[in-house]
Structure 1
Amino acid sequence: MFFDSQNKINSFENPIDYIEEHIYKFGIDLFRDSPNLLTLNFRGQWRNYKVIFSWDEYNQIISVSSHFDINKKEKISKNIYSLVSIVNEKVNLGYFHFCSKVKTVFFKYQVSVKGFDFLNQEQVEDLLNVVTKECDKYFPAFYLYFFKKQDPKYVLSASLIETYGEA
């Protein structure tokens, strides 16, 4: 990191430094796994999410990912891929994917920061907000799928209520 004449942080070589500095101010539990990896626990609407920020220095990309701490020991039907596909058509930024190895759903979002010397506070908040907003919105659908009925159309219609206008 670089400092100006007033000893304030001016820019970071590694954006994870700034993300850590900003998130630390809010008293959120975080852990610096390595110079390019930051893990934190963030409270969403439905539960706490483990959010991971990683920095790819070569490509200058920040990746933000989270996973639903839900998994089912029994067999999960292949319809999970249909559900993920339908959900991904509705997601504004990022994407969900099902990992068959750990039998849970992950959300991932990536941002290129080529040409930027620093991240501002709003950008860091946006990175975190995108993850929590999308995870909060679609968590009920995946939860219903895992524990109630493995029918993608049913769980989406039962869990998503789209609102239009004001009441």
Structure 2
Amino acid sequence: MMDVDEFELERETSAPIDMLEHYFTAHGWSCERGEDEIVANFQGSWAQYELRAIWREEDNVLQFLALPDIRVATDKRLTVYETIGLINEQLWLGHFELWASSGLVLFRHAALLEGDDGAVLTLQQAETLVEAAIEECERFYPVFQFVLWAGKTPQEAIAAALIETQGEA
């Protein structure tokens, strides 16, 4: 298996979906791709994440989604919407959403890509897209769990989940 450093030397830019496929493969993550879309699975600390990228060539936009396997029952959606609002105030890149039709919580952000020979994605951009999504999902997953399963208010859940710890237990 090729590691990320070897990949970086081999290819620094590529078509967006191609670059993400190489990035996922270099990390050993299973993935499936179509012409304008790729889906990978990643095991995080809290959950199995589905990572999905969709390339919109007509707009030169790469949309990146991370789905942390959180489904919200109808009676909890108002509280989760409030939670998402408070979380999103703290984010610089991307945002959380709750899809009304399915009750799924997801993290989403997009990149506008341009280049002299068509839109390309650099390895650094791919790392930023993927790592930002995973980091935010990992950071805020406990907040959603505290709200959904422990009955905490959004403010209590954020305070409890984002405590800075020293060392490891």
Residue 55 in 1 paired to residue 64 in 2? no
Q: Distance in 1 between matches of 2:13 and 2:124?
A: 16
Cα shift readout 1:78-108 (whole Å, capped 9, x = no counterpart): 1221111110000121000112222221100
Residue 154 in 1 paired to residue 156 in 2? yes
RMSD: 2.3
**Structure 1 116/162 Cα, relative in aligned 2: closer, same or farther at 3 Å?**
farther
Counterpart AA for 1:103 = G
Q: Distance in 2 between matches of 1:150 and 1:9?
A: 47
Aligned with 2:133 (options 109, 112, 131): 131
Residue 108 in 1 paired to residue 130 in 2? no
Counterpart AA for 2:24 = I
Cα shift readout 1:62-82 (whole Å, capped 9, x = no counterpart): 111012212244621512211
Q: Distance in 1 between matches of 2:85 and 2:29?
A: 32
What pairs up with 1:6-155 in 2 under 5 angstroms?
12=14, 14-32=15-33, 34-73=34-73, 75-115=75-115, 117=117, 118-155=120-157
Contact 1:77/1:150, CA 8 A, preserved across alignment = no
Q: Distance in 2 between matches of 1:61 and 1:87?
A: 25
Cα shift readout 1:11-45 (whole Å, capped 9, x = no counterpart): 64x4101221232122210011x201000001222
Q: Secondary structure at the match of 1:75?
A: helix
TM-superposed deviation, 1:10: 8.4
Write 1 or 2 for the structure with the bigger share of helix. Answer: 2
Q: Secondary structure at the match of 2:71?
A: coil
TM-superposed deviation, 1:115: 2.8
Provide the TM-score with structure 1 as the length reference: 0.82
The percent of aligned pairs where both chains have the same amino acid is: 25
TM-superposed deviation, 1:162: 4.4
**Structure 1 61/158 Cα, relative in aligned 2: closer, same or farther at 3 Å?**
same
Provide the TM-score with structure 2 as the length reference: 0.81
Q: Distance in 1 between matches of 2:44 and 2:82?
A: 25
TM-superposed deviation, 1:161: 1.6
5+ long unaligned stretches in structure 1: 1-7
Q: Secondary structure at the match of 2:107?
A: strand
Q: Distance in 2 between matches of 1:73 and 1:79?
A: 11
* Matching residue of 1:5: none
Q: Aligned pair count?
A: 155
Q: Secondary structure at the match of 1:93?
A: coil
